[in-house]
Amino acid sequence: MDECRAAVPGLRSSTRRRTPAVLACGMVLAVTGPSGRSAETHEAVATPPAALFLEAHCTRCHDGDVAEGGVRLDDLPTTITTVEAAERWQRVLGVLNAGSMPPEEEPRPPVAAATEFLASLSRSLAVARRTIGDQGRVGTLRRLNRREYANTLRSLLGVDVDVSSLPDDAGAGGYDTFGSSLFMSSDQFEQYLAVGRRAAAGVIDRWRRAAEPLPSRSTVRTEVEIAARRQMGGLLNGYFLGGYRKAREWEAAGADPARAKDFGFPDEHEAKFRLRAYEQSGPYLGQYLALPKSDEGAWLTYHTANYHHTETITIPADAPPGRYVLRLRVGGNEKVPVSRRFLEMGIVSADDFRRLGVFQVTDPVQRPQTIEVPVTITPDGARAFSFREKRHADAAAASFQNALARATNGVGLDCALWIDWVEWEGPLPDPDGADRCLALFGSVFHPDLDAAATRAILERIAVRAFRGVRPGDDYLDRLVLIHDAQRASGRPFADALVEPLAVMLASPAFLYLHEPDADRAGSPVPESTAADDRHLSDLELASRLSFFLWASPPDDDLLAAATAGALDDPGGLAQQARRLIADSRSLACATGFTHQWLDVDRLDFFRFDHQLHPDFDEATREAAKMEIYRTFHTLLQRDLDARRLLACDFVVVDGLLAAYYGLDDVSDPAKPKPITGDHFRMVPLPPSSPRGGLLGMAAILGMGSNGERTSPVERGAWVLRKLLDDPPPPAPPNVPQLSRLDGRKISVRERLLAHQEEPQCAQCHRAIDPVGFGLENFDAAGRWRTEDHLYRMNFVMKNGPHGKVVDVSFPIDPAGALHGGPAFADFFELRAAIAARGDDFLRGLVSNLFAYAIGRPVSFADAEVIDGLVARAVADGGGLASIVEAIVTTPEFRTR
């Protein structure tokens, strides 16, 4: 097998109901909810084909009499309800997948029968794992995940803090909203304290500054051409021309290797290198210095080596922390492609460029535009912000592209961006700082307050931090004691508040969404009596709603609605849900959910090959991810049919992606307009476009690659898992790798057809691979193509760099058929066939969104509610906001 299916670890599979759980030919599973909540039980026995297979190929040796190798299979339980039974069956599956049974001297089972048996057993075990692992309909006490924690600090205190020292809470299976998957450790507790201290110090500082007169505001503009000319001119005349002249002198004197030292070179190689170096770089530098308007501004080079490729704005150390604005007057070279006219902003560290944003430069050098970027300077945060042409993270890309251009034009890659000047201004006033701090602290900043006032402040903030719940007196007493101790050690009143606030932000009432049990007995109640559903209190429901839709705590309006009892009836609840969806903060739901649901993190698993995919740089990759989130968000906010994710007559893109896809705005077909700017918007597509829907998105297609080549297997498995609600079982261990075709120059399709030869492979790949073939018209970075290529290393062109050149080409053959479904001739027919399975898609989406919303895996006992939600979504036309409203008004969402 050239590539084996890579399953994503975790149990984020959907839970389509199979009632009774009879599978194609294999076993049938007893489904019992271990929590005791589920009353449903499906009892059944192994169906004849499975029993026959075992009888024909296994039990002759593995029975009670012989028990070859100590293994008995004649008494295998026909229902899998226990961990032990699952392990026994897992071992049967394991040896069959590994091909180690039946032994070589015994007849092999027919391929078709073995394939069916393996397919059925794999699926049965996957269902059994979920059944045994089913935690029932009871949720688990939820800690705020890292996203929610950061949003909550921002919402509560109005400060942004770096939370990267905390675990990201994704990856252990399920969503990061599942209480059962959110762990706590002593290190993490200490990180909460540390982050909390930074956040508390930030808000105390803001409180203090709100009461002080605004520090004087400066505007500092820098003309950039002088430094750029000095840098590039110095390089040309010093290193390159200087070295070249010396080397020529050495040459003229006979090029004696022994005399290289006399001309200032360590050896002859260095002298020869300096001759070449000038010939290669001299023309480029000369041309740079002669570029139009290079006496009025600075061109940014794409090539990096010591050139003027970055402009940095630094806010000096003596400027106080606060809000600032950065400005650049910038124009684009209209002779280079639109896709290169983007300015990338970031923070440069040792060998890293941390991207903060990207800006499209739409105006030409003759009429430059001004780009404004607001920034917040914190006491220990970054003060230097760098701007450069957007580029690949791979440093080799710059010199490679430059060498390619030099082979064509003899000089090098044209500059794309010109900067007239840069400036910073600040600190700017904090217009809502005074109000926000007053609301939080209950008073204006005061250098010293008495014990009662301190306690009042701590209590006031605690009520907000704990989402409306008043803390106990003994708890507050201890916070006051901590404040006292801080003061006793010499800290001023306000600074001494940092520690008790940090403690508050590491306390369970802040970190956990606490929903007390119905029976408030003195000791923990046993599970059986906890089974009674309890309606959430108004405040609890408000928290659940806002953490679902905003990944953030309730705002004042929602708290007020909760306090007024407006969430008690489904109508009031739905109304608040609609309000939250309409708010821009609902992007956090779209992002948090789709990122995990669709496994978008896979896109970051590898770096894209800069030679084969020069345009798919970091900024494009981020924009491509954003397209997924923004599309989902658009459907949500406009209550459009969620099935548009399968096929859609519009895309949601920004200028960068429009350039990448080569899209114009054709709402008026007679007058196509370019799509420019850094905001995402809906753009109609012509019917012939392969874009529109997840299957046409660069991020989705890129995830189904390794950054270099496409992986039809990854793509096919993803489609089954995410779009057709028909997840293949996880990649099995120990399947022998097919090596028959190793090293052969054949197409991916030919290579993967070998999967059909072995039952261990065919059981899954017969369903997976054809879908992947149907997507082969998209390359690894999601661009449309009609040929696939194998590459070898060579000189790319005469005088060009050494790199990948096409070795063999194959025409793409996208035709195929869904397993047990319709045939398709090309991508468009495949897309139509998948779109025709819209109800399956809705089931997968609804199950996943439901699980994400209520913070626990979907249980088998939820089948009825999921069925109801799906039926309603189908009847309602699939509107995404309507689906959300239906979910939040289910009893499951409103009770615990």
Partner 1 sequence: MHPTRRTVLRAAGTALALPLLPSLGWRRFAAAAPVTVPTRLVFLSFGWGVTNETWFPDRAKTGVDYDLPEGLAPLARHKGGITVIQGLANKFSNEAHWGSTFYLTGANRYGVPGSSFSNSISADQVAAETLGAGTRFTSLQLTSRDAEQSGHGPGLSLAWNRQGKPLAGLDTPLAAYERLFGDETLPLAERQRMLRERRSVLDAVLVQARSIDRTLSARDHDKLDEYFQSIRDIETRLAKEESWMTTPKPRPPLDAPGASLVGEQEIALMYDLIVAAFRTDSTRVITYRQPMASLIKSMGITVAPHDLSHYTPGDRMEASKRRDRKQSELLATLLDRLAAVQEADGSSLLDRVSLSFGSNIRSIHYLDNCPTVIAGGGAGIRHGRHVVLEAKQTPLANLWLTLLQGVGIETDSFADATGTIGELRA
Residue numbers 740-759 binding partner 1 by CB under 8 A: 742-743
Residues 500 and 476: their CA atoms lie apart, in Å, by 9
Query: Which residue stretch of 276-284, 288-296, 499-507, 624-632 sits at the interface with partner 1 (rule: CB under 8 A)?
Result: 499-507
Q: Which is nearer to partner 1, 366 or 523 (CB)?
A: 523
| Nearest distance in Å: CB 387, partner 1 | 22
162 binds partner 1 (CB under 8 A): no
321 binds partner 1 (CB under 8 A): no
On whether the CB atoms of residues 407 and 800 are closer than 8 A, the answer is yes
Which residue in this structure is represented by tokens 């468009």? 828
Per CB under 8 A, the list member of 173, 684, 690, 800 interacting with partner 1 is 173
Tokens read off for 553: 């705590």
86 binds partner 1 (CB under 8 A): yes
Per CB under 8 A, the list member of 216, 523, 584, 688 interacting with partner 1 is 523
List binders of partner 1 among 332-361 (CB under 8 A).
Answer: 349-352
DSSP, res 740: T
507 binds partner 1 (CB under 8 A): yes
Helix (H) or strand (E) holding 808: strand 802-811
| Nearest distance in Å: CB 71, partner 1 | 12
List binders of partner 1 among 839-868 (CB under 8 A).
Answer: 857
Query: Which residue stretch of 327-335, 381-389, 401-409, 731-739 sits at the interface with partner 1 (rule: CB under 8 A)?
Result: 731-739
| Nearest distance in Å: CB 382, partner 1 | 15
| Nearest distance in Å: CB 477, partner 1 | 9
| Nearest distance in Å: CB 9, partner 1 | 6
Among 413, 512, 494, residue whose Cα is nearest residue 210: 494
Strands (E), 171-321: 218-223, 298-300, 310-314
Q: Is 590 exposed, middle or buried (0-12, 13-18, 19+ CB in 10 A)?
A: buried
Per CB under 8 A, the list member of 285, 506, 580, 695 interacting with partner 1 is 506
Q: Which is nearer to partner 1, 38 or 339 (CB)?
A: 38
Per CB under 8 A, the list member of 88, 272, 514, 766 interacting with partner 1 is 514
On whether the CB atoms of residues 849 and 831 are closer than 8 A, the answer is no
Question: 587-597 and 838-854 are packed helices; what angle lies between their axes, rounded to 10 degrees?
Answer: 110
The residue type at 234: G
The residue type at 532: D
Residues 850 and 480: their CA atoms lie apart, in Å, by 42
Per CB under 8 A, the list member of 132, 211, 275, 753 interacting with partner 1 is 132
Residues 575 and 125: their CA atoms lie apart, in Å, by 43
Per CB under 8 A, the list member of 704, 727, 730, 782 interacting with partner 1 is 730
41 binds partner 1 (CB under 8 A): no
| Nearest distance in Å: CB 883, partner 1 | 25
The residue type at 442: G
Q: Give the CA radius of gyration of the chain.
A: 32
Q: Which is nearer to partner 1, 90 or 231 (CB)?
A: 90
Query: Which residue stretch of 328-336, 373-381, 444-452, 733-741 sits at the interface with partner 1 (rule: CB under 8 A)?
Result: 733-741
Helix (H) or strand (E) holding 850: helix 838-854
Per CB under 8 A, the list member of 184, 226, 463, 564 interacting with partner 1 is 184
Residues 700 and 476: their CA atoms lie apart, in Å, by 50
190 binds partner 1 (CB under 8 A): yes
List binders of partner 1 among 700-729 (CB under 8 A).
Answer: 706-707
| Nearest distance in Å: CB 373, partner 1 | 26
Q: Is 273 exposed, middle or buried (0-12, 13-18, 19+ CB in 10 A)?
A: middle
790 binds partner 1 (CB under 8 A): no
List binders of partner 1 among 440-479 (CB under 8 A).
Answer: 471-472, 474-475, 478-479
605 binds partner 1 (CB under 8 A): yes
On whether the CB atoms of residues 889 and 573 are closer than 8 A, the answer is yes
| Nearest distance in Å: CB 864, partner 1 | 20
Q: Find how far residue 178's CA is from the centre of its chain.
A: 18
Longest Cα–Cα distance in the chain: 100
Q: Which is nearer to partner 1, 173 or 572 (CB)?
A: 173
List binders of partner 1 among 20-39 (CB under 8 A).
Answer: 34-35
| Nearest distance in Å: CB 639, partner 1 | 33
Per CB under 8 A, the list member of 19, 41, 140, 306 interacting with partner 1 is 140
| Nearest distance in Å: CB 273, partner 1 | 22
HSE-CB at 135 with a 13 A cutoff on CA atoms is 14
Q: Which is nearer to partner 1, 476 or 870 (CB)?
A: 476
Residues 541 and 508: their CA atoms lie apart, in Å, by 18
The residue type at 846: V
Cα–Cα distances (Å) from 197 to 191, 203, 496, 504, 640, in that order, read 10, 10, 11, 10, 43
| Nearest distance in Å: CB 54, partner 1 | 21
